[in-house]
Amino acid sequence: MSSEEDVATWSKEKLKSMSHSEITKLFSSILDFAEVAIDGKDRYLNFRSRVLKLSNDAIREIKKEIDTNYEVNYTALTEDLIVVKKSRQD
């Protein structure tokens, strides 16, 4: 496997991971709101089950779509800068 293939694979995995994370945050927030808004534990648990199923299905479909139909090349927009200062010894 060439270095270019490694970067492409890493880029796809990074995109899939970011997508997974954002969708998970979204449905987690929806469930937090719903827990307060829905009257009755059974109704909430039924709603929660459906939201989790649909969300996990969406994550799987997005990952499949990325793997099947996309070439991804991640480009960092900024660089991290680490400054190390040596303390003076008097």
pLDDT digits (tens, 9 = 90+) for 17-56: 999 999 999 999 999 999 999 999 999 999 999 999 999 9
- The reported pTM is 0.74
**Interatomic CA distance for residues 81 and 27, integer angstroms:** 34
Residue 82's pLDDT is 66
Would you list the domain boundaries of the chain?
A: 3-69
Amino acid at 72: V
How does the average pLDDT of the chain come out, rounded?
A: 89
Q: Rounded to whole angstroms, how far apart are CA atoms 16 and 64? A: 9
